[in-house]
């Protein structure tokens, strides 16, 4: 599907899978822009069994999105929590691809922000 650009074993298939997941996310959610939600004062709120954490993270993301306070970190943590709750290898793989695709979107948003900065005078 893509020309060979990668020399590390497995990276080409991984990159193609992440690209496909990003396309699915864009089709579902559109082009997103969020604050990062990171920093030394960030409070970690999720503890407990993996399924509970995944459910809590899902509910938190839904609420934050409704309130207009969603961050990339919130989205990434939700996807990671869902991955942590999986024991089936195929479902775990799908969740990890979602984590990778969210990271790709976050990096794209960061890069886009830095390229949109006005030049210093």
pLDDT of residue 82: 92
Residue-level pLDDT, tens digit, the chain, 121 residues:
556 688 887 888 889 999 999 999 999 999 999 989 887 777 777 778 889 989 999 999 999 999 999 999 999 999 999 998 999 999 999 999 999 999 999 999 998 888 776 555 5
Residue 4 CA to residue 93 CA, distance in Å, equals 23
Sketch the domain layout of the chain as residue ranges: 11-31+46-115
pLDDT of residue 41: 78
């Amino acid at each position: 599907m893509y020309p060979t650009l990668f020399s590390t074993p497995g990276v080409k298939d991984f990159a193609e899978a992440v690209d496909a997941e990003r396309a699915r996310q864009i089709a579902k959610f559109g082009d997103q822009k969020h604050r990062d939600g990171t920093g030394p004062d960030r409070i970690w709120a999720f503890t407990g069994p993996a399924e509970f954490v995944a459910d809590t993270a899902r509910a938190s993301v839904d609420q934050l999105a409704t309130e207009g306070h969603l961050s990339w970190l919130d989205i990434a943590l939700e996807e990671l929590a869902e991955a942590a709750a999986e024991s089936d290898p195929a479902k775990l793989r799908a969740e990890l691809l979602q984590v990778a695709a969210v990271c790709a979107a976050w990096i794209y948003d960061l890069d886009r922000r830095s390229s949109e900065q006005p030049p210093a005078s």
